[in-house]
Amino acid sequence: MSVPTPHISAAKGDFAKTVLMPGDPLRAKFIAENFLENARLVNNVRGIGGYTGTYKGKEVSVMASGMGMPSMGIYSYELFHFYDVDHIIRVGTAGAIHPDLKLRDVVAGMAACTNSSFVKQYNLPGDYAPIASYRMLRAAEEAAKEKGVDLVVGNLYSSDTFYDDQTDVIPRWQKMGVLAIEMEAAALYMNAARAGKEALAICTVSDIPLTGEGCSSEERQNSFTQMMEIALETAIRL
Protein backbone atom coordinates (compact mmCIF):
# COMPACT_ATOMS: atom_id res chain seq x y z
CA MET A 1 0.00 0.00 0.00
CA SER A 2 1.22 3.51 -0.76
CA VAL A 3 0.21 6.90 0.56
CA PRO A 4 -2.37 8.23 0.69
CA THR A 5 -4.06 5.17 2.17
CA PRO A 6 -7.79 4.31 2.03
CA HIS A 7 -8.23 6.02 5.42
CA ILE A 8 -5.61 8.79 5.49
CA SER A 9 -5.26 11.42 2.75
CA ALA A 10 -1.98 12.90 4.02
CA ALA A 11 1.14 12.90 1.89
CA LYS A 12 4.38 11.25 2.89
CA GLY A 13 6.10 13.41 5.49
CA ASP A 14 2.93 15.14 6.69
CA PHE A 15 3.02 13.37 10.06
CA ALA A 16 5.60 13.91 12.77
CA LYS A 17 7.50 10.99 14.29
CA THR A 18 5.23 11.19 17.35
CA VAL A 19 1.43 11.22 17.06
CA LEU A 20 -1.08 11.78 19.86
CA MET A 21 -4.24 9.75 19.28
CA PRO A 22 -7.46 10.57 21.09
CA GLY A 23 -10.50 8.56 20.15
CA ASP A 24 -12.61 11.65 19.51
CA PRO A 25 -11.90 13.78 16.39
CA LEU A 26 -13.08 16.85 18.30
CA ARG A 27 -10.50 16.19 21.02
CA ALA A 28 -7.83 16.00 18.31
CA LYS A 29 -9.03 19.38 16.99
CA PHE A 30 -9.00 20.83 20.52
CA ILE A 31 -5.41 19.70 21.09
CA ALA A 32 -4.26 21.10 17.74
CA GLU A 33 -5.95 24.46 18.29
CA ASN A 34 -4.96 24.93 21.92
CA PHE A 35 -1.51 23.37 22.25
CA LEU A 36 0.19 23.21 18.84
CA GLU A 37 1.76 26.14 17.04
CA ASN A 38 1.15 26.55 13.31
CA ALA A 39 -1.04 23.46 13.25
CA ARG A 40 -2.20 22.41 9.80
CA LEU A 41 -4.85 19.90 8.81
CA VAL A 42 -3.21 16.96 7.03
CA ASN A 43 -6.11 14.48 7.05
CA ASN A 44 -9.88 14.67 7.25
CA VAL A 45 -11.05 11.43 5.61
CA ARG A 46 -14.30 10.31 7.30
CA GLY A 47 -14.00 13.33 9.59
CA ILE A 48 -10.95 11.85 11.33
CA GLY A 49 -8.98 15.05 11.67
CA GLY A 50 -5.20 14.79 11.63
CA TYR A 51 -3.03 17.82 12.39
CA THR A 52 0.69 18.55 12.48
CA GLY A 53 2.30 21.48 14.23
CA THR A 54 4.97 22.18 16.81
CA TYR A 55 5.02 22.00 20.59
CA LYS A 56 7.89 23.83 22.29
CA GLY A 57 9.74 23.76 18.99
CA LYS A 58 9.31 20.05 18.25
CA GLU A 59 7.08 18.75 15.48
CA VAL A 60 4.14 16.76 16.86
CA SER A 61 1.00 15.40 15.21
CA VAL A 62 -2.43 14.58 16.58
CA MET A 63 -5.08 12.45 14.91
CA ALA A 64 -8.16 10.66 16.14
CA SER A 65 -8.29 6.88 16.29
CA GLY A 66 -12.06 6.46 16.41
CA MET A 67 -13.66 4.07 18.88
CA GLY A 68 -12.60 0.50 19.49
CA MET A 69 -9.71 -1.76 18.58
CA PRO A 70 -10.63 -2.33 14.91
CA SER A 71 -10.52 1.44 14.31
CA MET A 72 -7.36 1.96 16.36
CA GLY A 73 -5.88 -1.05 14.59
CA ILE A 74 -6.38 0.51 11.15
CA TYR A 75 -5.13 4.02 11.91
CA SER A 76 -2.14 3.06 14.04
CA TYR A 77 -1.10 0.40 11.50
CA GLU A 78 -1.15 2.88 8.65
CA LEU A 79 0.75 5.52 10.65
CA PHE A 80 3.44 3.04 11.71
CA HIS A 81 3.84 1.31 8.35
CA PHE A 82 3.12 3.95 5.71
CA TYR A 83 3.86 7.30 7.36
CA ASP A 84 7.08 6.44 9.23
CA VAL A 85 5.58 7.30 12.63
CA ASP A 86 7.72 5.91 15.45
CA HIS A 87 5.65 6.70 18.55
CA ILE A 88 1.92 6.85 19.22
CA ILE A 89 0.48 8.14 22.49
CA ARG A 90 -3.17 7.33 23.05
CA VAL A 91 -4.85 10.18 24.96
CA GLY A 92 -8.23 8.77 25.83
CA THR A 93 -10.86 8.23 28.45
CA ALA A 94 -11.39 5.25 30.69
CA GLY A 95 -13.85 3.92 33.22
CA ALA A 96 -12.21 3.41 36.60
CA ILE A 97 -12.72 0.07 38.32
CA HIS A 98 -9.94 0.28 40.91
CA PRO A 99 -11.45 1.51 44.21
CA ASP A 100 -8.71 4.10 44.76
CA LEU A 101 -9.40 5.96 41.51
CA LYS A 102 -11.71 8.96 41.15
CA LEU A 103 -13.02 11.13 38.32
CA ARG A 104 -10.31 13.02 36.39
CA ASP A 105 -7.45 10.90 37.70
CA VAL A 106 -4.85 10.23 35.01
CA VAL A 107 -3.71 6.66 34.42
CA ALA A 108 -1.02 5.16 32.20
CA GLY A 109 -1.33 1.64 30.85
CA MET A 110 1.82 -0.31 31.61
CA ALA A 111 -0.05 -3.23 30.04
CA ALA A 112 -3.47 -3.91 28.59
CA CYS A 113 -5.54 -7.02 29.20
CA THR A 114 -8.18 -7.66 26.57
CA ASN A 115 -11.12 -9.80 25.52
CA SER A 116 -10.33 -9.06 21.86
CA SER A 117 -9.34 -11.62 19.24
CA PHE A 118 -6.98 -9.04 17.66
CA VAL A 119 -3.95 -11.12 18.66
CA LYS A 120 -5.11 -14.18 16.69
CA GLN A 121 -3.78 -12.72 13.45
CA TYR A 122 -0.22 -13.32 14.68
CA ASN A 123 -0.78 -17.07 15.15
CA LEU A 124 1.29 -17.21 18.34
CA PRO A 125 1.80 -20.48 20.23
CA GLY A 126 0.52 -19.04 23.52
CA ASP A 127 -0.98 -15.97 25.20
CA TYR A 128 0.51 -12.56 24.37
CA ALA A 129 0.77 -9.72 26.92
CA PRO A 130 0.40 -6.31 25.23
CA ILE A 131 2.69 -3.82 27.00
CA ALA A 132 3.65 -0.17 26.66
CA SER A 133 7.04 1.20 25.74
CA TYR A 134 9.00 1.50 28.98
CA ARG A 135 10.93 4.46 27.58
CA MET A 136 7.70 6.32 26.85
CA LEU A 137 6.20 5.36 30.19
CA ARG A 138 9.25 6.65 32.03
CA ALA A 139 9.09 9.91 30.06
CA ALA A 140 5.40 10.28 30.92
CA GLU A 141 6.10 9.74 34.62
CA GLU A 142 8.78 12.44 34.51
CA ALA A 143 6.45 14.83 32.69
CA ALA A 144 3.61 14.18 35.14
CA LYS A 145 5.91 14.78 38.10
CA GLU A 146 6.99 18.13 36.67
CA LYS A 147 3.32 19.05 36.22
CA GLY A 148 2.47 18.03 39.77
CA VAL A 149 0.15 15.28 38.56
CA ASP A 150 -0.04 11.92 40.30
CA LEU A 151 0.11 9.60 37.29
CA VAL A 152 -1.30 6.21 38.28
CA VAL A 153 0.51 3.42 36.42
CA GLY A 154 -0.86 -0.10 36.04
CA ASN A 155 -2.92 -2.52 34.02
CA LEU A 156 -5.79 -1.50 31.74
CA TYR A 157 -8.54 -3.66 30.32
CA SER A 158 -9.21 -3.10 26.61
CA SER A 159 -12.71 -4.33 25.88
CA ASP A 160 -14.41 -5.01 22.55
CA THR A 161 -17.79 -4.45 24.18
CA PHE A 162 -19.08 -1.19 25.65
CA TYR A 163 -22.45 -2.75 26.45
CA ASP A 164 -21.56 -6.18 27.79
CA ASP A 165 -24.24 -8.83 28.21
CA GLN A 166 -22.26 -10.33 31.08
CA THR A 167 -22.97 -8.44 34.29
CA ASP A 168 -20.06 -9.70 36.40
CA VAL A 169 -17.18 -8.60 34.16
CA ILE A 170 -16.00 -5.61 36.20
CA PRO A 171 -15.63 -7.37 39.56
CA ARG A 172 -13.61 -10.16 37.94
CA TRP A 173 -11.09 -7.72 36.42
CA GLN A 174 -11.15 -5.60 39.56
CA LYS A 175 -9.97 -8.47 41.74
CA MET A 176 -6.87 -8.74 39.53
CA GLY A 177 -5.90 -5.14 40.26
CA VAL A 178 -6.87 -3.71 36.86
CA LEU A 179 -7.14 0.09 37.01
CA ALA A 180 -9.66 0.96 34.34
CA ILE A 181 -11.58 -0.12 31.25
CA GLU A 182 -11.03 1.40 27.81
CA MET A 183 -11.27 0.14 24.24
CA GLU A 184 -8.08 0.77 22.25
CA ALA A 185 -4.77 0.27 24.11
CA ALA A 186 -4.27 -3.46 23.54
CA ALA A 187 -4.55 -3.17 19.74
CA LEU A 188 -2.24 -0.15 19.74
CA TYR A 189 0.37 -2.01 21.80
CA MET A 190 0.22 -5.06 19.55
CA ASN A 191 0.53 -3.00 16.37
CA ALA A 192 3.51 -1.17 17.83
CA ALA A 193 5.21 -4.40 18.85
CA ARG A 194 4.71 -5.99 15.44
CA ALA A 195 6.02 -2.89 13.67
CA GLY A 196 9.02 -2.51 15.97
CA LYS A 197 7.69 0.89 17.12
CA GLU A 198 6.65 2.37 20.49
CA ALA A 199 3.29 3.16 22.07
CA LEU A 200 1.75 4.31 25.33
CA ALA A 201 -1.84 4.84 26.48
CA ILE A 202 -2.56 7.72 28.86
CA CYS A 203 -6.19 8.00 29.92
CA THR A 204 -8.29 10.29 32.07
CA VAL A 205 -10.95 8.71 34.26
CA SER A 206 -14.19 9.94 32.71
CA ASP A 207 -16.59 7.68 34.56
CA ILE A 208 -16.85 5.13 37.34
CA PRO A 209 -19.17 2.33 36.19
CA LEU A 210 -19.75 0.84 39.63
CA THR A 211 -21.05 4.14 41.09
CA GLY A 212 -22.60 5.73 38.01
CA GLU A 213 -20.42 8.85 38.27
CA GLY A 214 -19.35 10.38 34.98
CA CYS A 215 -18.26 13.46 33.03
CA SER A 216 -20.26 15.07 30.24
CA SER A 217 -19.33 14.66 26.57
CA GLU A 218 -18.17 18.30 26.46
CA GLU A 219 -15.95 17.78 29.49
CA ARG A 220 -14.43 14.69 27.85
CA GLN A 221 -13.74 16.67 24.69
CA ASN A 222 -12.31 19.89 26.11
CA SER A 223 -11.30 19.71 29.74
CA PHE A 224 -8.90 16.78 30.18
CA THR A 225 -5.92 19.06 29.70
CA GLN A 226 -3.61 17.44 32.28
CA MET A 227 -3.52 14.26 30.20
CA MET A 228 -2.92 16.25 27.02
CA GLU A 229 -0.05 18.21 28.55
CA ILE A 230 1.60 15.06 29.93
CA ALA A 231 1.39 13.45 26.48
CA LEU A 232 2.86 16.50 24.76
CA GLU A 233 5.67 16.76 27.30
CA THR A 234 6.32 13.05 26.72
CA ALA A 235 6.44 13.63 22.96
CA ILE A 236 9.21 16.23 23.20
CA ARG A 237 11.32 13.84 25.29
CA LEU A 238 11.37 11.15 22.60
Overall average pLDDT of the 108-114 stretch: 98
The per-residue pLDDT for range 186-195, each reduced to its tens digit, is 999 999 999 9
The per-residue pLDDT for range 29-38, each reduced to its tens digit, is 999 999 999 9
Overall average pLDDT of the 4-20 stretch: 95
Active-site residue list: 207
**Residue among 217, 160, 155, 163 nearest 184 (CA):** 160
Q: Please name the residues in contact with 172: beta carbons below 8 A apart, sequence gap of 6 or more.
A: none
The reported pLDDT for the residue numbered 214 is 87
pTM attached to this predicted model: 0.95
Tell me 127's DSSP state: -
The CATH class that applies to domain 18-235 reads alpha beta
- Asked whether the CA dihedral 92, 95, 97, 100 is positive or negative, the reply is positive
Per-chain mean pLDDT for the chain: 95
pLDDT bin (cut points 50, 70, 90) of residue 93 is: very high
Do residues 153 and 110 make contact, with C-beta atoms less than 8 angstroms apart? yes
pLDDT bin (cut points 50, 70, 90) of residue 223 is: low
